[in-house]
Amino acid sequence: MSLTDLTLSELHDKLRTKELSSVEVTRAYLERIAAHNAALNIYLTERPVEALRDAEAADRRIAAGEAAPLTGIPLALKDLLVTEGIRTTCGSKLLENFIPPYNGTAVHKLRDSSAVLLGKLNMDEFGMGSSNENSAFGPCRNPWDRERVAGGSSGGSAACIAARLAAASLGTDTGGSIRQPASHCGAVGLKPTYGRVSRYGVVAYASSLDQVGPVTRTVEDSALLLQTIAGYDRADSTSIDCPVPDYRAALRNDLKGVRVGLPKEYFIDGLDPEVQRTVASAIDVLRDLGAEIVHVSLPHTDYAVACYYLIATAEASSNLARYDGVRYGRRVTGEGGLIEMYNRTRGAGFGDEVKRRIMLGTYALSSGYYDAYYLKAQKVRTLIRQDFLDVFAQVDVLATPVAPTPAFRLGEKGADPLQMYLSDIFTIPVNLAGTCGLSLPCGFAAGKLPIGLQLIGKPFGEDALLGVGHAYQQATDWHKQQAEL
């Protein structure tokens, strides 16, 4: 078995017992990145020399008996997590040469545990997209089929796991940006409850929706990674001060006594038949493991996409106003005054999708339209959240598809933004409700295209969610399948 085939948990055990060294493992990943990244366009910034230095430091820490759970583990980060001294582009020409002066909290926790940082990963520009085709540096390709999308916006975070170019990665999820690419690439993607992981040092798209989370090969690996990055942070005003459970201890092998809800609004006409069949088979496995299946309703689901694209674009309009060519990032100079410089800089720096969302959000916030659009969307958001709270009085978790189709072809939906937005129809409500969701591989469509099962948990119920997901993976082997590169 290649070193890059080992899971994070297996690597942790072998590094701790000194059966392997971090330098050995890191070299194996760097060789694989060198062999395959050019064809897949997963890494935007690579750190071969620095990663080996990180690995050497980790080995010294292990030799001294000071190893943390992620010490020596080669990881990669979505390129909107701020990293001190390391280029952070957000997939945008506007920040192509931006070198941050500090680490975000999640990154700091990884660095403090002596994890090895292999590099920064491709993504839709500023997190705005569902296919990774909106990256200013070209699309990330799906390792299972290079003519198909990896999903977005954390396409690189999911593709690097499918291609075995990192042991684990971090992404962010604003409307499905961890779970949807995880589904398309056959990885495990966890969107934690809003406030569970600090957003300090995350370049903001929609501040009330963004959340950092792990993308891994197994649910157990997600539990280990979440354990390190979760927790209260005074630097983030939206961080919640509540206890962090022992996530690995919450993993289980059966589902006796667990009530799994099936919301009727997620099993709809238009759902790809292979997705429907595969998710139904996964639900049968949950039933065989002892779960009680309960049919439930989330009645305001139909309004989620419209609600999301008002709130998210309004917040994007506000957040992206800071990119003006004055303080940092790209500046396009020329004749004229300050306003002309703003126009040139933003016009040349932002891609088409980012411009579209800024305009939508600015319109929704403008005088005379605020009450009709943004304020009404916030009221609908409250109704959607209440739907989930009501249902979780009846069940422990929900089971749904992650996406209505498997990964689609590059360029297939680029001319129709609405069809692209509907790719996240099953993931958006979780962000609006602020609760947690998990995508895990549950089968394949024709052409060996991965399909994901989504599990949705109660607010701060990541332990229960991981327990159900782990039980499913103990009974199946979909997560063990590998893309042939």
CA–CA separation, 330 and 339 (whole Å): 15
Amino acid at 456: I
What is the phi-psi region of residue 22: left when phi exceeds 0, alpha when psi lies from -120 to 50, beta otherwise?
alpha
- CA 464 – CA 476 distance, rounded (Å): 19
Cα gap 267→426, rounded to integer Å: 10
> What is the rounded CA–CA span in Å between residue 73 and residue 11?
7
Residue 40: phi and psi, rounded to 5, are -105, -20
- The residues annotated with a catalytic role in the active site are 78, 153, 177
Of residues 232, 220, 242, the one with CA closest to residue 469: 220
- Residue 104 DSSP label: -
Beta pairing class for 436-445 and 397-401: unpaired
Tell me the CB-side half-sphere exposure of residue 10, using CA atoms within 13 A.
12
- According to DSSP, the residues that pair with 190 across neighbouring strands are 438
Cα–Cα dist 105/19, whole Å: 31
E strands, 102-144, are 116-121, 141-142
Amino acid at site 371: D
Beta-carbon contacts of residue 149 (< 8 Å; ≥ 6 apart) = 131, 132, 133, 139, 141, 142, 155, 184, 407, 408, 409, 410
Three-state SS for 181? helix
Which DSSP category does 320 fall into? G
Is residue 413 within 8 Å of residue 447, measured between CB atoms? no
Nearest-angstrom CA–CA distance, 121 and 363: 32
Structure tokens of 243?
A: 């206890």
For residue 421, the surrounding DSSP H or E stretch is: helix 417-421
